Amino acid sequence: MKILVIGASGPTGKEIVKQAMEQRHAITAFVRDKAKAKFASPVALAVGDVLDRNSLKRALEGQEAVICSLGSGVTGPFKEMTMLSEGTRNLIAAMQEKNVRRIVCITGIGAGESKGHGPWYYNLLFQPLVLRGVYEDKTRQENLVRSSGLAWTLVRPGILTNGAAKGQTAVRALTELAGAYAGNISRADVAAFCLRELADGHFQGQAPVITY
């Protein structure tokens, strides 16, 4: 499959590119800073900015699907964030124009109705004090994807780690959140989940929380 990976130079994006190449997909890595793009051949490189719709349109030429793994820094309790939603709005418009219909978009535990379903320390301390602005924007991002008319899946990982993959059987994908709480999950298993979702579309039109 021809896949454009948005946010490919971030830690999760790099893992997606690595696993996708191992599975022999044709990958284009969309990055803002070429100096951070240390990808081996035959990964194609598209340098651009999600706030520049024209650069997204150029990168989408000939693609079949998109995995969006946009990341962001911490915001604290007061700073506002708009990059995720503005960038996703541009991405959706570019995909519609280029007739690329399939998107898997990674957000996180705490976006939308998953708020309050992380570990207690995350719900009460980390998210409101460190990531409030980020997750308000992730919620806006999710709403844009849901209303896009594209064939979408939103993936909400629990607390991300850099540990080794535990494999598909260890990963829980939760779509009914009543009484459910997410813990940790490795970036390696998040990447594997996203690539499986592109292959089988099991959660198309849904927003699973993934965790161990």
pLDDT tens profile 25-72:
999 999 998 887 889 889 999 999 999 999 999 999 999 999 999 988
Beta bridge partners of residue 65, listed in sequence order: 3, 102
- Residue 194: predicted pLDDT: 98
pLDDT tens profile 125-168:
999 999 999 999 999 999 999 999 999 999 999 999 999 999 99
pLDDT beyond 90 at 83 = yes
Residue pair 201/136 in contact by the 8 Å Cβ criterion: no
User: CB count, 10 Å around CB of 73?
Assistant: 11
Q: Does the predicted TM-score (pTM) go above 0.75?
A: yes
76 φ, ψ (degrees, to nearest 5): 75, -175
Q: CA gyration radius for the chain?
A: 16
Residue pair 99/162 in contact by the 8 Å Cβ criterion: no
pLDDT tens profile 180-206:
999 999 999 999 999 999 999 999 999
- Backbone dihedral region for residue 149 (phi beyond 0: left; psi -120 to 50: alpha; all else: beta): left
Domains defined along the chain, listed by start: 2-211 (3.40.50.720)
8 band by pLDDT with thresholds 50, 70 and 90: very high
Residue pair 8/30 in contact by the 8 Å Cβ criterion: yes
- Residue 38: predicted pLDDT: 85
